[in-house]
């Protein structure tokens, strides 16, 4: 079988995601999705649980959905991409990585990836950071010196992820770029049947019908679930107990930022107050949100430096079962279908703890993560 992999969040699964899978399946026999767990790259709880999102994906074209654990799903684009690719590669059956991008010129994207894999570019970035600009701005300006058109390419969020994927893509895995359809990332207005995930989340939170933008089968899965948001009091009550050293050991905390966070936590009554107090021109809002969430979840710099230790199956159909059967013969990591198989694996046990924390924010009745079996279509 020719198997393609997709690294995704599906928060929630929408028509654009269904289009991406459908286009990929015109070429490949099956699609394996490595999907974020219950916490996502924006530094937030996923609006819909990973189990419902995985089921929605399989009902709308995906064949096998496995989890991208929280240390990678709630990380920068680089670490998000690296973690996802390591899991796909560990399965031993994925031939190609398929990704959506605003620009689908693989050769150009690969040129940018090559630049970012050259350590000399980071000397350039470091010099620019000293002027107080954000890392993203410094990176774009540095790339412009090496490849003028590259800066505009990498400024687009899906292109950035595409470049990060290509940086870590193993030699035995091909790349397939699918043109993003309908609307841009974080677009505030829909276009036809397409809308960005951020627009859809906002509509859901405002009680507005989003069925035109979500495949019917997927909508049936998520329509009755209550949206999940971080609870300021729960998060802050924990953060206020942390030491400065705890913040220092949190991913993305550098150059004494732990002191700024520690003091801001003491004085903040809401998470938005905290984000605003820590954010600077140098440290973007999204980075601050991720730091705060990682601190709450107890994710450390060591967690992020450690490669994935397992593959957790969340959902599959008949084709997914065949892929999984083949993967069991070739995989370089243990494949977990029943949570009890993960006992004794510290990283998996920590992921169960993260699921328990996520459950604190949900208004819906929760099933113990230790009793969660994959959704099977």
Question: What is the pLDDT at residue 184?
Answer: 56
Q: Of the candidates 303, 329, 353, which is a domain's last residue? A: 303
Do 71 and 173 belong together in one domain? yes
Q: Could you tell me the residue range of the domain that residue 297 belongs to? A: 232-303
Q: Of the candidates 303, 320, 355, which is a domain's last residue? A: 303
Mean pLDDT of 257-282: 93
CB atoms near residue 368 (< 10 Å): 11
Do 57 and 68 belong together in one domain? yes
220, burial (CB in 10 Å: exposed 0-12, middle 13-18, buried 19+): middle
Do 216 and 240 belong together in one domain? no
Three-class SS of residue 367?
coil
Mean pLDDT of 305-318: 96
Do 219 and 284 belong together in one domain? no
Q: Is the pTM of the predicted complex or chain greater than 0.75?
A: yes
Do 245 and 363 belong together in one domain? no
Measure the N-to-C terminal CA separation of the chain; round to a whole number of Å.
20
Three-class SS of residue 62?
coil
pLDDT in tens, 40-86: 999 999 999 999 999 999 999 999 999 999 999 999 999 999 999 99
Q: Which helix (H) or strand (E) holds 177?
A: strand 174-179
Do 218 and 243 belong together in one domain? no
| Spatial separation of the C-alpha atoms in residues 101 and 177, rounded to whole Å | 6
Do 62 and 150 belong together in one domain? no
Q: Is residue 13 within 8 Å of residue 53, measured between CB atoms?
A: yes
Would you state the structure tokens that stand for residue 186, as one six-digit string?
């974080």
Residue 126 pLDDT grade (very low, low, confident, very high; cuts 50, 70, 90): confident
Q: Of the candidates 269, 288, 303, which is a domain's last residue? A: 303
Do 215 and 318 belong together in one domain? yes
Do 249 and 148 belong together in one domain? no
Residue 261 pLDDT grade (very low, low, confident, very high; cuts 50, 70, 90): very high
pLDDT in tens, 160-212: 999 999 999 999 999 999 998 765 555 556 666 889 899 999 999 999 999 99
Residue 282 pLDDT grade (very low, low, confident, very high; cuts 50, 70, 90): confident
Average pLDDT value for the chain? 92
Would you state the structure tokens that stand for residue 190, as one six-digit string?
């829909």
Query: The domain spanning residue 181 has which CATH number?
Result: 3.40.50.620
pLDDT in tens, 88-107: 999 999 999 999 998 889 99
Mean pLDDT of 321-348: 97
What is the total count of domains within the chain? 3
Do 255 and 150 belong together in one domain? no
| Spatial separation of the C-alpha atoms in residues 95 and 154, rounded to whole Å | 25
Do 90 and 215 belong together in one domain? yes
Do 128 and 205 belong together in one domain? no
């Amino acid at each position: 079988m020719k198997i393609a992999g997709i690294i995704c969040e599906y928060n929630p699964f929408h028509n654009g995601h269904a289009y991406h899978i459908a286009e990929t399946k015109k070429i490949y026999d099956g699609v394996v999705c490595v999907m974020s767990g219950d916490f996502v790259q924006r530094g937030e709880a996923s609006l819909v649980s990973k189990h419902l999102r995985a089921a929605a994906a399989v009902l709308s074209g995906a064949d096998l959905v496995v989890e991208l654990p929280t240390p990678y799903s709630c990380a920068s684009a680089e670490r998000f991409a690296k973690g996802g690719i390591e899991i796909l590669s560990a399965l031993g059956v994925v031939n190609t990585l398929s990704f959506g991008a605003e620009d689908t010129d693989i050769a150009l994207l690969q040129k940018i990836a090559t630049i970012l894999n050259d350590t000399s570019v980071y000397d350039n970035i470091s010099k620019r950071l000293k002027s107080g600009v954000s890392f993203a701005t410094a990176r774009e300006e540095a790339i412009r010196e090496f490849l003028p058109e590259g800066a505009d390419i990498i400024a687009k969020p899906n292109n950035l992820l595409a470049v990060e994927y290509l940086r870590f893509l193993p030699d035995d895995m091909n790349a397939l770029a699918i043109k993003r359809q309908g609307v841009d990332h974080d677009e505030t207005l829909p276009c036809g049947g397409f809308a960005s995930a951020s627009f859809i989340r906002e509509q859901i939170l405002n009680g507005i019908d989003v069925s035109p933008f979500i495949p019917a089968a997927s909508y049936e899965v998520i329509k009755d679930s209550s949206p999940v948001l971080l609870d300021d009091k729960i998060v802050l009550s924990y953060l206020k107990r942390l030491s400065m050293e705890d913040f220092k050991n949190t991913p993305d905390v550098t150059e004494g930022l732990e002191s700024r966070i520690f003091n801001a936590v003491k004085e903040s009554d809401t998470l938005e107050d905290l984000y605003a107090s820590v954010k600077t021109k140098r440290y973007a809002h999204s980075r601050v949100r991720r730091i705060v969430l990682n601190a709450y979840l107890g994710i450390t710099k060591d967690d992020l430096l450690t490669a994935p230790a397992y593959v957790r199956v969340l959902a599959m159909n008949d084709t997914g079962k065949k892929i999984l059967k083949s993967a069991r013969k070739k995989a370089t990591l243990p494949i977990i279908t029943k949570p009890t198989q993960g006992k004794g694996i510290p990283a998996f046990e920590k992921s169960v703890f993260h699921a328990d924390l996520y459950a604190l924010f949900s208004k819906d009745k929760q099933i113990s993560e230790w009793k969660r079996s994959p959704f099977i279509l």
